[in-house]
Amino acid sequence: MSLIVEGLTIDHGAIRAINNVSFKVAQGQLAAIIGANGAGKTTLLRTLSGLKDATSGNASWNGASILGKRAEDLARSGIMHVSDGKSVIAELSVKDNLALTGLWRKDKKDVVAATNEVIELFPILGQRMSQSAGSLSGGERQMLAIGRALIARPKLLLLDEPSLGLAPLIVEQIFQTIKSLVKKMDLTVVLVEQNAMGALKIADQGIVLNLGSVVLVDSADKLLNDPAVRSAYLGF
Amino acid sequence: MTQFITAVLTSLSSGAIYALMAIAIVLVWRSTRVINFAQAGQAVLTTYIGYTVIQRTGSFWIALVVAVVSGAVIGAVIDRFFMRPIFKRVKSGPIVMIAPVVATLGLLGIIQAVIGFVWGITNQSIEAPVSTGGYKVMGTVIAFSNYNLLVLVFVAIAMLLLTLLFQKTNIGLALRASAYSPEIAKLSGIKVDSVRTLGWAIAGASGGLAGMLYIPGYFLYPNAMDLLLVLGFIAAVIGGLESLFGAVAGAMILGFAIIFSTTYISPKLFFPTAFIVLILVLLVKPAGLFAPKKSRGA
């Protein structure tokens, strides 16, 4: 199983947000897509999860094209997207937020098991089950959003800026959790981040986007340790 | 004292009818962010269907069931074949907010014209299934009858069923999630379009029930629900447009305000009272009296 993106182009009206982007992420790998604000990272992820239409190009998961499919169908097929802004439904309780990805699953026993695993992974959620998601802190909301995705037993996890607006300690905790999930669940993860250093530290592969185009694809280690690349594209 | 008891009971009965229309408006607003002005047309159409069933069978109860079911079907059809295509085609700019609302206004006109064409524009009437004669309190007949009590019971049952549906079932959770955040619901694997259609169906059923309970005592004609739509809309805004409880509470506040002002001050105050209450609420709490609390900043 792998995610293959070939010559993907996405327009926002007259503006070209993503231009002829190609990359591949193998199963069980964590790819970090990094780049400055406006590089097209979020647009790319929204297209891969079915929220936005592509203008041209291809994207496939496990050999099957994923472009043009509905977000809910992709979610049910194991592609879960945790969008930016700590995507929880503030008006619903933590319990109800977690229940959303189990509503359509037929194996209800496994839904219960997956929910227990998520609570084990993020114990704070277990203590907040009856609270509204809107009352959670930023870090807790991020845990809830990731936990909700995990209950669907995803194969491909698309994470958009999970560190956005969080304290450094919480960011570190979230990143380490993501890294551990890749190994534990044999997950393939595409992590979109502005926090390039943090993302590359846990990633296998780094993809650098600049103004909608891929300017570098390499192993995360190499990108992190190349001073020229760091100063030119990563800003540290 | 008798006048006071009558006013309280009549307020409850009137508020209950407004509540059904307010619930229908809130259900569509929550699921699609559209104020469905066509709800008046949908409700009057289902009431005409009920009227036809009564003509054929002589049974109000069969007609009530048929009206509620046909209300659900009409609501679902409107969403699937009318609103959903509009939402798909209108994606950005101010027209996103305007087009669906204007579309519901147009639909209201179309439905009322079709009703006039099929059933005519002369007044029809539906006989109440139980006595409309007022109860006797301390030797005086008050303006509250078995039928008013029946309306209250029906609204209470409808509220109970809707609350159970929304709070205790998976379908209810899907409805709430799709209403609050369609994008997160989709990303969670919920078929939001289908869920929205279900929301329209439930709203249509609620409107159908409102129509059948409202018309006995009034006349049935193509514009018969226009007033109820206005009052239901005001009640929904007072309640905050987001919650079923708010819709019912807003309707009761409106019912009490109208009945008490028209009973104790002047019958001419019916409309002014409704709009004064609305404006006061908008000035004091623009989001409505029972709007959900804002979430904590991240």
- Write out pLDDT tens, residues B83-93: 989 888 877 77
What's the pLDDT score for residue B238? 95
CB contact under 8 A, B188 and A75: yes
What's the pLDDT score for residue A194? 85
First-to-final CA distance of chain A: 34
What's the pLDDT score for residue B294? 54
Neighbours of B217 (CB within 10 A): 16
Top residue of A49, A72, A84, A87 to mutate, by most chain B CBs within 10 Å, is A72
**For residue range B117-175, what is the model confidence (pLDDT) as tens digits?**
999 999 999 999 999 988 888 888 888 899 999 999 998 999 899 999 999 999 999 99
pTM of the model: 0.88
Q: Among A52, A104, A45, which residue's Cα sits nearest to residue A79?
A: A45
CB-closest option in A83, A103, A165 to B187: A83
User: What letter represents residue B221's amino acid?
Assistant: Y
Length of chain A: 236
B292 Cα to chain A: minimum distance (Å): 8
Top residue of B84, B88, B166, B187 to mutate, by most chain A CBs within 10 Å, is B187
What's the pLDDT score for residue A236? 66
Lowest mean pLDDT among A35-39, A104-108, A142-146: A35-39
A3 versus A234: the higher-pLDDT residue is A3
Is residue A133 less than 8 Å (CB to CB) from chain B? yes
Measured distance CA(A91)–CA(A73) in Å, rounded: 25
Are the beta carbons of B204 and B71 closer than 8 angstroms? yes
Length of chain B: 298
What's the pLDDT score for residue A92? 93
What's the pLDDT score for residue B179? 87
Measured distance CA(B294)–CA(B250) in Å, rounded: 20
Segment B207-233 shows an average pLDDT of 93
Q: Which residue of B has its CA nearest to A158?
A: B187
Beta-strand pair A15-26/A64-65 = unpaired
Q: Please give the structure tokens belonging to residue A81.
A: 């997207």
Could you give phi then psi for residue B142, rounded to 5 degrees?
-105, 165
Q: Which residue of A has its CA nearest to B177?
A: A89
A:B CB pairs within 8 Å: 90
Complex ipTM, two decimals? 0.92
What's the pLDDT score for residue B142? 84
What's the mean pLDDT when you consider all of chain B?
91
Beta-strand pair A2-12/A15-26 = antiparallel
Top residue of B91, B188, B194, B290 to mutate, by most chain A CBs within 10 Å, is B188
* Confidence category of residue B298, pLDDT binned at 50, 70, 90: very low
What's the pLDDT score for residue B227? 92
Kindly state the percentage of chain A with pLDDT values over 70. 97
* Confidence category of residue B97, pLDDT binned at 50, 70, 90: confident
What's the mean pLDDT when you consider all of chain A?
91
Segment B38-49 shows an average pLDDT of 96
Are the beta carbons of B212 and B202 closer than 8 angstroms? no
**Is the model's pLDDT at B297 over the cut of 60?**
no
Query: Chain-centre distance of CA B155, in angstroms?
Result: 11
Segment A157-182 shows an average pLDDT of 88
Q: Please give the structure tokens belonging to residue A26.
A: 């193998």
What's the pLDDT score for residue A31? 96
**For residue range B6-16, what is the model confidence (pLDDT) as tens digits?**
899 989 989 99
Residue corresponding to tokens 């209810």: B172
Are the beta carbons of B49 and B261 closer than 8 angstroms? no
Three-state DSSP state, A190: strand
Are the beta carbons of B9 and B148 closer than 8 angstroms? yes
**For residue range A77-121, what is the model confidence (pLDDT) as tens digits?**
999 999 876 689 999 999 999 999 999 999 999 999 999 999 999
CB contact under 8 A, B184 and A91: no
